[in-house]
Amino acid sequence: METPNEETVYLDYNATTPVEKEVQDVILQALQEAWGNPSSAYSAGRKANELVSEARQQVAQMIGASPADIIFTSGGTEANGLVFHTAVKHFWAATNGLAEGQCQRRPHIITTTVEHDSVCLTAKHLVEEDKADVTYVEVSSQTGQVDVVDVLAAVRPNTILVSIMLANNETGVIMPIAEIGQRVHDLCKGPTKHRPILIHTDAAQALGKVHVDVNDLGVDYLTIVGHKFYGPRIGALFVRDPGSSTPLFPMLFGGGQERCFRPGTENTPMIAGLGKAAQLVFTRLDEDETRMQDLKDYLEDQLKNKFGKEKLHFNNHFEGSKRLPNTCNVSILGDDLQGYRVLAHSHRLFASTGAACHSSQKNRPSPVLLKCGIPAKIARNALRLSLGRFTTRKHIDIAVAELYRASCELESASIH
């Protein structure tokens, strides 16, 4: 991809981030020096094994976990799928040995209406194949968050998993995962003796932007996605004491790598790069978070100064809710200012109207914004401007000028 420079401005860091130079260097070095199979005993294999172990420690450090709790995956989609697969398998394994179909109830899963497709579509697939029941909890139009009380109200005797993202990729709203985890676990310890419920959060959008600690959150599983924090396009899954305290059932079978939880010869260069990216998050987070918050405030102020408050609607300004420090979701109001049209006329700006995986839908308003209570006419005009480590105030000035020019051109063309 084209990286940010003085000619173009990249404000789509929630879609993907450029790979840090230090991460690139580690990947290249691994390609050159650790080309051996990590399971082999000779020097190139031992070097590869050492890099995988070091990366496991670095990823664990980033989230306050033990290295033994980290399972490397191909990415966030696989990690999320592994959690749902495990939940269903664990339900049947724990149901007194009854075979699937012999139990009166299927496993029940709770998630929300604003999850990433890798969660929503996996849940939908399980329902269509009669493998699970799923409750999709709505988010509040006042807060943009899922309400803890609503999650608890959705719990059934056969509930096995609660899966809720840590931060929404379009609004940046941070969900109350720690409280949800605590209340659900308390429910399982209470006098009703509810079966243990597993707690999962997809932390793809939060890592590298806000502090994430698995012990503070109280989760059993946490999804990690490298290309969201300046690393390569692989991922990892945190599992609290996998196979012992927390179940984990493999989806693949092979050579026994990753303690048989995720077999397949390890992608050593990318794993090493993921570890380095995680290390940089650990050392730079405070600085990055403060800087991004300052830049986002500057962006929103410049938009107001250029367009006027009456011309804008900030789609993620929910009172009392915490948001990611880098995410601005805004609509420029006007009948001809649909987000995809404005961006098509903003030749120097790289941004999106919502989730990158929905970019082909163009004029369709974001389902996430609609579910957050944003009217369709406003949601159609939405722009997601997400900042990152390489964003400067000059980039923001260029972006605002581009958006203003494009909007004026579109409105002028509609008059004529």
Question: Which residues carry out catalysis?
Answer: 357
Give the contacts of 139 (CB within 8 A, at least 6 positions apart): 112, 113, 114, 145, 146, 147, 173, 371, 372
Query: Exposed, middle or buried by CB within 10 Å (0-12, 13-18, 19+), for 134?
Result: buried
* Residue 63 and residue 221 in contact, taking contact as beta carbons nearer than 8 Å: no
Residue spans of beta strands (DSSP E) within 241-369: 312-314, 327-332, 349-350
The CA R_g of the chain, rounded to the nearest whole Å, is 22
DSSP 8-state code for residue 264: S
309: its two tokens: 């408050």
3-state secondary structure (DSSP) of residue 121:
helix
Alpha-carbon gap, residue 285 to 30, rounded angstroms: 25
Q: How far is CA 124 from CA 84, 113, 118, 204, in A?
A: 11, 12, 10, 21
* Residue 270 and residue 278 in contact, taking contact as beta carbons nearer than 8 Å: no
Residue of 302, 234, 321 whose CA lies nearest to 270: 234
- Exposure b/e, 162-196, CB count within 10 A at least 16 = b: bbbbbbbbbbbbbbbbbebbebbeeeeeeeeebee
